[in-house]
Amino acid sequence: MVENGKRVLLDGELANDYSVDSHAFDSDLRNLLMESNLLSVDDLTGEELIMDFSLQYTRFLTRLGALPETEMNTLCRRMTDAAAAGDDDLRSYWEDALTTTSGSMDDVQKRAYECLRSYVDSTGTGT
């Protein structure tokens, strides 16, 4: 991280050991930056949101479900729009995440998942 023109050490660690050119590395790094208040979930593209949802759905749904309803709806819409416009690979990540997350969730995660499902069902952008 750069602060006042100087590099400073980012306090934190990635959850796993990834190749730096992998989606998992990018997703984990985004999470670390958000936890350090250097990046907001609102700064992410629909494609990045889908990858984070797909790769770390429990953490993602917890973060999404804790947002105010208006912001959560904006991000859910951003994700379904990206899924509709995305390539086959992105849609595969999207549909796999929607299927995988249908298991046990706490109330915050359910709130986020229900928001996503409402946009998926209204747009037909998933399973």
* Tens place of pLDDT per residue across the chain (127 aa): 666 778 877 777 777 777 888 888 888 888 888 888 888 999 999 999 999 999 888 989 999 999 999 999 999 999 999 999 999 999 999 999 998 886 788 999 999 999 999 999 988 877 6
- Beta-bridge mates of residue 12: none
pTM of the model: 0.85
| 8 A C-beta contact, residue 31 and residue 60 | no
Q: What local confidence, expressed as pLDDT, does residue 34 receive?
A: 87
Q: What local confidence, expressed as pLDDT, does residue 45 receive?
A: 97
Q: Where are the domains of the chain?
A: 40-127
